[in-house]
């Protein structure tokens, strides 16, 4: 922690009222990616503010599942002891076509071999408060309304492949309606899927890349403290047809489970699928042993979208960066976005810190390269994987083959959760071989493996 952090904070409080203060960094959104970015910048001693339109704690539609990747980030932020009070689980029970396999999280030198299930109501509050304790100033119930673009610098996102330079963000106090411009040298947009400011600036989602859609509800269950989270790979519609999606039951350890259904595909192939009906059918067909029924529901189910595979571009401008869902950073293999929110927020903070130390806009532009280096090839393979499983026939055959091999499924779990060990030196090649071995039983494998072959060369 930089020794200057406290005096900077005091100066900030005095001049913000006058509207003259220029923060080192301003973060829009206090979800996983925004709070992580704010924490890492504040911990390094920078003068950082966060604008969050909701009052925390607040509900956030999510499966509430933290994988070992997410736990590692929380531990790095000093939240290891607090998060240990949540429900710890040891692995994934995967179920399909009458079979089930229990797969434990692998031993890994960098990640723990456990995860947690915790409501976003509690989790997001913990991380935002951690950022505040490190010195970030958080303005709750303050909505970012529009960016203040530096018109002295000409730019066109569609032509330049960069977002325009910003001077600040116009904000509105949700309760009083009072408008105020907050100024900053660097701005991190962590607004989630709504992406009001990013879209205003010209960032767009590539519609050819995977988008998920998911619906979840809370249910009381006698198995609320099961040591495994559960996924179902054969979810169906009310006519009994298998759908290109999955169902989950994640035990919260507090008398409840989080149960939901998700669809992951490209090119809007799930259009026309009724997710409410899908969830009802899933609860009726698959959740019996958990004691779930419409009667055990704690309230109405809510849903949301999952932008995947780094699908939004551009992700940077001279002094702007997009993180988490705003950058489309969810893992296409498994729909996990919390850890990637923490990781992209941390990466963005590192780039802003470098820029503030004198590296300037080059450091900001390096963010896209660093994202590509961290996730590019992996997500490319993930996109091919989504294309493959979007075909119900292929999905059916792959799942049936996988469910007869514990070793293969353990391996796939490591791949899908991005938990390959460093000694597995050629992960892309390994993924290729895993998918190929599964796909051999599927019709016309060449059709969907072409992309992977290219990716591994």
Closest CB to ligand FAD among 51 and 398?
A: 51
Per DSSP, the three-state class of 373 is helix
Q: What is the DSSP string of 162-226?
A: SBPPEEEEEEEETTT--EEEEEEEEEEE--TTS-HHHHHHT-EE-TTS-EEEEEEEEEE-TTTT-
Q: Tell me the closest approach of the beta carbon of residue 67 to ligand FAD, in angstroms.
A: 7
C-alpha angle 383-390-386 in degrees, rounded to nearest 5: 15
- How far, in Å, CA of 169 to CA of 412, rounded? 43
Closest CB to ligand FAD among 214 and 388?
A: 214
Closest CB to ligand FAD among 135 and 147?
A: 147
Give strand pairing partners of 260. 216, 248
Closest CB to ligand FAD among 291 and 303?
A: 303
Q: Tell me the closest approach of the beta carbon of residue 446 to ligand FAD, in angstroms.
A: 33
Q: Tell me the closest approach of the beta carbon of residue 254 to ligand FAD, in angstroms.
A: 16
Q: Categorise residue 418: left if φ over 0, alpha if ψ from -120 to 50, beta otherwise.
A: left
Closest CB to ligand FAD among 188 and 395?
A: 188
- Residue 309: closest CA among 260, 376, 252: 376
Closest CB to ligand FAD among 248 and 365?
A: 248
Interacting residues toward ligand FAD by CB under 6 A: 28-34, 51-54, 60-65, 143-144, 190-192, 194, 196, 214, 216, 260, 303-304, 306, 324-326, 330, 336-339, 341
Q: Tell me the closest approach of the beta carbon of residue 343 to ligand FAD, in angstroms.
A: 11
- How far, in Å, CA of 270 to CA of 160, rounded? 33
Q: Tell me the closest approach of the beta carbon of residue 192 to ligand FAD, in angstroms.
A: 2
Q: Are strands 179-189 and 320-322 parallel, antiparallel or unpaired?
A: parallel
Q: Tell me the closest approach of the beta carbon of residue 204 to ligand FAD, in angstroms.
A: 17
Closest CB to ligand FAD among 203 and 455?
A: 203
Q: Tell me the closest approach of the beta carbon of residue 211 to ligand FAD, in angstroms.
A: 11
- How far, in Å, CA of 126 to CA of 110, rounded? 23
Q: Tell me the closest approach of the beta carbon of residue 210 to ligand FAD, in angstroms.
A: 13
The residue sitting closest to ligand FAD, measured at its beta carbon, is 337
Q: Are strands 166-173 and 256-265 parallel, antiparallel or unpaired?
A: unpaired
Q: How far is CA 327 from the centre of its chain?
A: 10
Closest CB to ligand FAD among 116 and 448?
A: 116
Burial profile 260-294: b = 16 or more Cβ within 10 angstroms, e = fewer? bbbbbbbeeebeebebeebbbbbbeebbeebebee
- Residue 410: closest CA among 95, 115, 102, 88: 102
Closest CB to ligand FAD among 342 and 432?
A: 342
Question: Contact at 8 Å (CB) between 186 and 24?
Answer: yes
């Amino acid at each position: 922690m930089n020794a200057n952090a406290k005096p900077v904070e005091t100066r900030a409080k005095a001049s913000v009222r006058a509207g003259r203060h220029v923060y080192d960094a301003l973060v829009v959104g206090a979800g996983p990616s925004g709070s992580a970015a704010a924490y890492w910048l504040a911990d390094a001693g920078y003068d950082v503010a966060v604008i969050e339109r909701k009052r925390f704690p607040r509900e956030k539609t999510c499966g509430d599942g933290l994988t070992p990747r997410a736990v590692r980030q929380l531990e790095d932020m000093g939240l290891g002891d607090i998060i240990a009070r949540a429900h710890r689980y040891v692995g994934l029970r995967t179920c399909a076509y009458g079979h089930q396999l229990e797969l434990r999280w692998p031993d890994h030198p960098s990640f723990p071999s456990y995860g947690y299930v915790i409501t976003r109501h509690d989790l997001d509050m913990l991380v935002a408060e951690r950022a505040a304790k490190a010195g970030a100033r958080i303005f709750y119930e303050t909505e970012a309304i529009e960016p203040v673009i530096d018109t002295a610098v000409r730019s066109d996102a569609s032509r330049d492949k960069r977002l325009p330079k910003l001077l600040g963000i116009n904000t509105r106090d949700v309760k009083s309606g009072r408008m105020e411009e907050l100024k900053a040298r660097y701005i991190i947009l962590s607004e989630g899927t709504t992406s009001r400011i990013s879209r205003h600036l010209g960032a767009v989602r590539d519609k050819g890349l995977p988008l998920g859609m998911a619906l979840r509800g809370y249910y009381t269950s006698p198995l609320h403290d099961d040591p495994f989270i559960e996924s179902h790979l054969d979810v169906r519609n009310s006519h009994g047809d298998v759908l290109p999606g999955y169902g989950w039951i994640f035990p919260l350890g507090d008398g409840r489970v989080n149960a939901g259904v998700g669809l992951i595909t490209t090119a809007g192939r799930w259009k026309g699928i009724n997710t409410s009906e899908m969830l009802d059918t899933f609860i009726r067909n698959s959740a019996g042993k958990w004691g779930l029924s419409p009667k055990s529901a704690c309230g109405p189910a809510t849903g949301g979208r999952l932008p995947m595979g780094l699908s939004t571009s551009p992700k940077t401008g001279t002094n702007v960066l997009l993180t988490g869902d705003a950058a489309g950073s969810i893992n296409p293999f498994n729909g996990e976005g919390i850890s990637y929110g923490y990781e992209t927020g941390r990466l963005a903070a590192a780039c802003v810190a470098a820029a503030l130390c004198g590296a300037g806009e080059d450091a900001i532009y390096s963010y896209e390269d660093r994202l590509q280096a961290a996730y590019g090839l992996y997500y490319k393979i993930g996109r091919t994987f989504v294309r493959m499983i979007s075909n119900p026939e292929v999905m059916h055959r792959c799942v049936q083959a996988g469910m007869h091999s514990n070793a293969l499924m353990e391996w796939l779990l490591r791949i899908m959760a991005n938990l390959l060990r460093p000694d597995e030196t050629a992960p892309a090649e390994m993924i290729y071989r895993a998918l190929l071995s599964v796909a051999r039983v599927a019709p016309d494998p060449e059709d969907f493996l072409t992309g992977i072959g290219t990716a591994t060369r």
